[in-house]
Amino acid sequence: MGSNAFRTWLLCVVVIGLLVGAASAQEKSGEEKTKEQKTNEGEEVVQLPRVTVSTTRLPDVPLDLRRYPGQVRSVTEKEIETSGADTVPEIIKTEPGITLYNLTGNSFEPTLDMRGFSGEPITTTTVILDGVRVNNPGLNSVDWSLIPVKDLQGIQVIPGTQSIFGRNTLAGVVNLQTKRGGPVPEATFEVAGGSFGHQRYRGSVGGPVGDFDYYLGFTQELADGFRDDSDSDVTQFFTKVGRRIGNPGTDVTLSYLFVDDSLGRPGSLTEAQLAQDRTQSANLPPGDSIERTLHAGTLNVRQNLPAGFSVALNAFIRNVQQDSFDVFLSGGTSQTKTDITTGGGIAQVTHEATPFDRRNVFVVGVEYTQSDTMGTDSGTFPSDQETDGKTLGVFFQDSFDLIPEVLILSAGGRYDYDRIDFSDKLDPTKDRLRTFGRFNPMAGLTWVATNPDPEVVVYFSYSEGSRSPTVNELFAFAPFSSNPTLEAPTSRTFELGTRVRVGESFQGTMALFQTDVKDEILFVPTGPFTGMNENVDETRRRGVELTLRGRYGELVDGFVNYSYIQATFETDALLVSGLAREGNDIPLVPRNRVGWGVNVYPIEGLTVSLTGLYVGSQFLSGDEANQGQPLPAYYVMNGKVRYRWGPLTLFLQGNNITNSEYETWGLAFGPRFMPAPGISFLAGAVLELSGFYE
């Protein structure tokens, strides 16, 4: 990172810190009016939102964040809309502890993980959309272009091992909720265009119809891309119909999501190619590409019952058809067609009571998922494979006030049984059946001090997790090597943290955590496009995460997020790539990350925003021995100007406005790197209408 960029980053962090300090001091000053006085005088009260969370498998009884023994970071509908982002990772990239990079060269296909997990060979973060796990059953990866960002109502990032959410959730959960129609008819239309041939067309409408509510959303994103062969075309259609009966009583929603995308994949470049032209493609014509079509239906039901009981039900079916074409630099091609059908459901019962005048919330549930994956490759390495996967999970959790509203005990656990039935139609000798099962407990203690101001929460938690090896880890497509004897990794996580809130204008959090993993699976490259997966006896992640958020009246608000994470081998491991010694860093995990943002409101209707992200150096993929040159640290800054005049909003956003040259990912073999885009702009207009019919 250049000295000018560093000084800019440092200056902005200092400014945010001063703003936060001013907000804290203002709340404590006797010269400020109280909230009640402002309300009586008819002035608008500007405050940071209080967060309620849903840390159960399905949302049911809202839980005040003060009662939860962990961190939950929420992104509101307004923040999603004003971000201008095309994918969920782009929205949450400034949150602490995020691992984010690009493997394909297309902006719609980032890789995301959390808390020192590198996303290789698979992500250990679970992504939930309206109660449905959307991780790919073959790779546990997430196809972010298949998530309708513009139709999201909220995002909750829950870092750390989340036992209740089931297998493969060692790093955390990203919980997504889609929009639904409200009591007033509303419509939104957006048109935008900018650098690299980027075009966006979006429209949505929602509202009541008799006893029902409805929502329809449509988005199309087109782009030529920052590099050759990185064209993208993403079309998304989302609709939801709901009905509420009683208050509270019955709540039913039925949704359908259709996505059709076509994405170019220009691939990684050598150092010589980077120096020559960062925008070139690594591939010979016609280049790597992928096309996908998604059909997904989701039913959610919530029903209140007598005596403090309630029931939440979820049922879903998803089908993804995928056609990918790859050209290997070492020679040969791959033409892979994949058809994945996944279905299942969840039944969850909640009981809320106050025995001995102490609140108790008990949840128990069962989750079942079945997936059928068919994949064929007609390229250089032909294959015809089919996998039948079944997963059954049973879970419970309880939250009990040892001291009412002051000391809360949380406990629970989940048992998962995973069955993977693999068949190879070209070579039946490779047919295998693997099963995995484990019970993972969790427990936590939360202490709350709400009087006098400031409000302070201190918590401690312990949780265990596990993940089953995926089909692609056990039975890889050529030229990668299979390893059907892989063991299931398990984890133990300890976390100590605090949350502080001063008045309504300042809040901060801190979390200290350690996650010990046994039998972790690492992808070990043996060349630019070859490699295999291996178990490593012991690894560890430990670190600290800090967040500060504040606002000063109606003029400015901002945040600063910082994380320091050590991801290390805890035993010597002789891997294909070399000897990884105890204490070596796990590749692709930066130790330092700083994200910041500030919004200024100089006049009515005008918002000026700046965000910045600093990512520290990290070892390249495949450099478990830590012998090579690390991927350099980088810093990127984005900005946006929005002006709202009645129902019309005009905006201009700039990404990488300092035009930094940096790479988010690198491979030790070659070495090869994935360049990030230079400066770009997007301008557009949004029209929002409300109450246009009775």
Between 279 and 50, name the one with better pLDDT: 279
pLDDT at 91: 96
User: How many domains does the structure of the chain reveal?
Assistant: 1
pLDDT over threshold 60, residue 5: no
* pLDDT tens track for 339-353: 999 999 999 999 999
pLDDT at 334: 78
Whether the upstream peptide bond of residue 454 has omega within 30° of 0, thus cis, is yes
Residue 680 — very low, low, confident or very high, per pLDDT cuts 50/70/90?
very high
Share the mean pLDDT of the chain: 87
Q: What is the distance between the alpha carbons of residues 298 and 315, in angstroms, rounded to a whole number?
A: 6
| Spatial CB neighbours of 285, under 8 Å, sequence gap ≥ 6 | none
pLDDT at 13: 38
Return the CATH number at 327. Answer: 2.40.170.20
Residue 8 neighbours by CB distance under 10 Å: 16
Longest alpha-carbon distance in the chain? 80
pLDDT at 527: 58
* pLDDT tens track for 224-259: 999 999 999 999 999 999 998 877 689 999 999 999
Average pLDDT over residues 208-220: 94
Nearest of 27, 45, 26, 25 to residue 35 by alpha carbon: 45
Domain that includes residue 505, residue range: 3-690
Residue 553 — very low, low, confident or very high, per pLDDT cuts 50/70/90?
confident
C-alpha triplet 217, 223, 196: angle, nearest 5°: 135
pLDDT at 46: 43
> In 210-308, where do the E strands start and end?
212-223, 232-246, 249-265, 269-270, 288-304
Q: Which two tokens stand for residue 521?
A: 């699976």
Phi and psi dihedrals of 153, rounded to 5? -90, -30
pLDDT at 134: 95
Q: What is the distance between the alpha carbons of residues 48 and 290, in angstroms, rounded to a whole number?
A: 42
pLDDT at 50: 54
* pLDDT tens track for 264-296: 999 899 999 999 999 999 876 667 889 999 999
- Tell me whether residue 266 is exposed, middle or buried, using C-beta atoms within 10 angstroms of its C-beta: 0 to 12, 13 to 18, 19 or more: buried
Helix (H, G, I), strand (E, B) or coil at 355: helix
pLDDT at 8: 39
pLDDT at 35: 36
Name the residue with tokens 């060349």.
527
* pLDDT tens track for 559-591: 999 999 999 999 988 876 678 899 999 999 999
Nearest of 443, 343, 446 to residue 396 by alpha carbon: 443
pLDDT over threshold 90, residue 532: no
CB 162 within 8 A of CB 463: yes
Instruction: Tell me the one-letter amino acid at 74.
Output: S
pLDDT over threshold 90, residue 36: no
* pLDDT tens track for 475-507: 765 555 667 889 999 999 999 999 998 888 899
pLDDT over threshold 70, residue 330: no
pLDDT at 45: 38
Helix (H, G, I), strand (E, B) or coil at 13: helix
* pLDDT tens track for 127-142: 999 999 999 987 889 9
* pLDDT tens track for 84-118: 899 999 999 999 999 999 988 899 999 999 999 99
| Spatial CB neighbours of 272, under 8 Å, sequence gap ≥ 6 | none
Nearest of 597, 604, 501 to residue 554 by alpha carbon: 604
Nearest of 491, 573, 570 to residue 115 by alpha carbon: 491
Phi and psi dihedrals of 17, rounded to 5? -60, -40
CB 137 within 8 A of CB 472: no
Rg of the chain over Cα atoms, rounded to whole angstroms, equals 25
pLDDT at 286: 67
Three-state SS sequence of 509-564: EEEEEEEEEEEEEEEEEEECCEEEEEEEEEEEEEEEEEEEEEEECCCEEEEEEEEE
pLDDT over threshold 50, residue 430: yes
Helix (H, G, I), strand (E, B) or coil at 486: coil
Residue 15 — very low, low, confident or very high, per pLDDT cuts 50/70/90?
very low
* DSSP code, position 493: E
